[in-house]
Amino acid sequence: MALLEVRELRTEFRAARGSVTAVDGVSFTVDAGEMVALVGESGCGKSATAQSIMGLIVPPAGQVTGGQVIFEGQDLLRLRPRELRAVRGKGISMIFQDPMTSLNPVLTVGRQLTESLRLHLGLNRRAARARAIELLEMVRIPAPESRLGSYPHQLSGGMRQRVMIAMALSCNPRLILADEITTALDVTIQAQILELLRDLALETRTAVLFITHDLGVVAGMAERVNVMYAGQIVERAETVDLFHRPQMPYTWGLLGSVPRLDLVRGGKLRPIAGRPPELSEMPAGCRFAPRCVHARETCQDDAPQLTVTWETPDRGQLTRCWGMRPATEGGWLSTKDRFANQSTEES
Ligand SMILES: Nc1ncnc2c1ncn2[C@@H]1O[C@H](COP(=O)(O)OP(=O)(O)OP(=O)(O)O)[C@@H](O)[C@H]1O
pLDDT of 148-165, one tens digit each?
A: 999 999 999 999 999 999
Cβ atoms within 10 Å of 315's Cβ, excluding its own: 12
Pair 331, 269 in one domain: yes
Q: How far is the CA of 280 from the centre of ligand 1 (A)?
A: 13
274 within a domain of the structure (yes/no): yes
Pair 19, 131 in one domain: yes
- State which H helix or E strand residue 107 sits in: none
Of the residues 201, 222, 243, which one is the last residue of a structural domain? 222
Residue 121 half-sphere exposure, CB side, CA atoms within 13 Å?
Answer: 22
Supply the pLDDT for residue 344: 39
Pair 235, 96 in one domain: no
Residue nearest to atom 29 of ligand 1 (CA): 43
Pair 233, 153 in one domain: no
pLDDT-based confidence at 16, cuts 50/70/90? confident
Rg (CA), the chain: 22
145 within a domain of the structure (yes/no): yes
Number of domains in the chain: 2
Q: Are 317 and 245 in contact (CB under 8 A)?
A: yes
Pair 318, 257 in one domain: yes
Supply the pLDDT for residue 347: 35
Exposed, middle or buried by CB within 10 Å (0-12, 13-18, 19+), for 17? exposed
Pair 44, 112 in one domain: yes
Pair 235, 195 in one domain: no
pLDDT-based confidence at 260, cuts 50/70/90? low
Supply the pLDDT for residue 58: 93
CATH number, domain of 27, equals: 3.40.50.300
Q: Cα separation of 315 and 137, whole Å?
A: 38
In the predicted structure, residue 336 carries a pLDDT above the cut 60: no
Residue nearest to atom 1 of ligand 1 (CA): 61
Domain that holds residue 185: 2-222
Pair 172, 247 in one domain: no
Contacts of 130 (CB under 8 A, 6+ apart): none
Pair 217, 237 in one domain: no
Region 192-201 average pLDDT: 94
Supply the pLDDT for residue 196: 95
Pair 173, 255 in one domain: no
Residues in the ligand 1 pocket, defined by CB under 6 Å: 13, 22, 40, 42-48, 61-62, 180, 213, 279
Q: Cα separation of 138 and 98, whole Å?
A: 21
Q: Are 288 and 230 in contact (CB under 8 A)?
A: yes
Atom of ligand 1 nearest to the CA of 23: 14
Atom of ligand 1 nearest to the CA of 45: 18
% of the chain surpassing 70 pLDDT: 91
In the predicted structure, residue 257 carries a pLDDT above the cut 70: no
